[in-house]
Chain A
Amino acid sequence: MPPLISSAIILRHVDYGEADRIVTVLTPDHGRLKGFARGARRSRKRFGTALEPFAEVRLHWVPRPGGELVSLREAELVSLRTGLRRDLETLALAGYGCELTEALFDEAVGFAEAFGLLRAFLDHLDAAGASAGARLLMELRLLTLAGIVPHLQHCAECHGALPEGPVGFDAGRGGSLCPGCGGAAAGLRVDRLTLGSLGRLLQTPLERFADIRLSPRTLQEGGALLADALRGHLPKPLKSAAFLAGL
């Protein structure tokens, strides 16, 4: 059987025995694949540096009947993204983007867009380094692609308008809450201007990260809002998020 060829981003790998490696990748057309790379750890002949996390490759692979693991034949390096190794924050945020993408798109559809988004995110970090804005955009867009973005600019329960100033937010109840729906008792308070900014960010092109400026308030309140929204959709806390928080 001739191998299939896919664009792929290396998400992570684990060593298997002395010489082999199991690699998890994201592809636009087949979603997440787990592949067995024979000899990748000891010998660099076949795969070279192409199986390093965050690298983009053209992957030659063969499905294995009945098995979850596909067989990796060859990986042509497209981009190693060495700029991600400039500092710990950038490295950790790149890891977070990969882990979050994998967590939200485990079995779902929409891989092509998720792939394009992750590629743009990694390319941006590679060129510009980590920033709170890039993280916020990535989280917001992944929630959107996964179809689980909370109600922002209207009340999640009565769909009514929201008042000026601070508004209650509870991801568990669907998002923003007007005073009539008990918004004052919600765990999070977010200014309506922040909700407006997030709403406008949803209109920006999915793959654009450069030249989007966010106010400190949007970053702070928006970051807390998105963390609340993500918590409900992640089966367990992300390891890379804990690592980032510890920096």
Chain B
Amino acid sequence: MLDSIPSFARLVAELAKFPGVGTKTATRLAFYLLRQPDAAAAALATAIVDLKRNTRFCSVCFHITEQDPCPLCVDPARDGSLLCVVEEPQAVLAIERSRSFRGRYHVLHGALSPLDGIGPEELRIAPLLDRLKAGEISEVLVATNFTVEGDATALYLARLIQPLGIRTTRLAYGIPMGSELEYVDEATVQRAVQGRREL
């Protein structure tokens, strides 16, 4: 049926690639877009192109940003002695939403996985060590997820960081095992930051 409307079929195929979106939902979204004014459709298309054109990873913390270094890295009001290490940019957003942390961040872009064979060289761990060796940081808060991969990463980081004489802590308090920060509510993240414990 869709073969006779190639433009429509192409959009459905693209939308169906989104996480959690199947052909049915993609078709519904495509019909919605079809009914929108031209300007609305153009705005969406531009937003997608701009996202890809204007954003990159911060060269210091590897969070997503439009300017390099990112605003979080250059904000003079943030505490440069406190560094929070997370797996993905989504976790930076989750912790920022909780308004419980005023230090700086480092995004690893993944986690160690014994089961998938993902080792430290596949994460942004070398630049993390360079930042720590620069000497300004006195505490690293490891905010990896509470999964096997997040725990493996935290154990590995503790082993790496403690010999440098830097205090290493981990989120605690009420985040259940198996959780990804992205899906934890703000109040719980806040309590976990405040109740962080030595690793």
Binding site for B on A (CB under 8 A): 12, 17-20, 41-42, 44, 48-49, 51-54, 80, 82, 85, 87-88, 91-92, 94-96, 98-99, 239-240, 242-244, 246
Contacts and interface: CB of A to CB of B under 8 A. Distances in A.
Nearest to A84: B148
Interface of B: 19-21, 112-119, 147-148, 151-152, 155-156, 159, 176-180, 183
A98 B151 CA distance: 18
B177 A91 contact: no
Most chain B CB within 10 A, of A85, A240, A242, is at A85
Nearest to B121: A246
A239 B117 CA distance: 4
Nearest to B119: A246
Given A88-B152, A88-B156, A91-B152, A82 B115 contact: no
Given A88-B155, A99-B115, 4 more contacts: A17-B19, A17-B20, A49-B176, A53-B148
Nearest to A237: B117
Main secondary structure of the interface of B (DSSP, over half): loop
Contact of A91 (B117, B151, B159): B151
B20 A244 contact: no
A24 to B, nearest CB: 10
Given A49-B178, A51-B178, A18 B115 contact: no
Given A49-B177, A82-B177, A239 B152 contact: no
10 contacts: A12-B115, A44-B176, A44-B179, A82-B177, A91-B151, A92-B152, A95-B148, A239-B114, A243-B113, A246-B119
Contact of A19 (B20, B114, B148, B155): B20
Nearest to B150: A85
Contacts of B178: 44, 48-49, 51-52
A210 to B, nearest CB: 23
B117 A242 contact: yes
A48 B176 contact: yes
B155 A87 contact: yes
Nearest to A82: B177
A99 B113 CA distance: 13
Contacts of A94: 114
Most chain A CB within 10 A, of B113, B152, B176, B178, is at B178
A240 B119 CA distance: 10
Most chain B CB within 10 A, of A18, A20, A88, A240, is at A88
Contacts of B116: 239
Most chain B CB within 10 A, of A41, A51, A91, A246, is at A91
B176 A95 contact: no
A85 B178 CA distance: 12
A98 B118 CA distance: 16
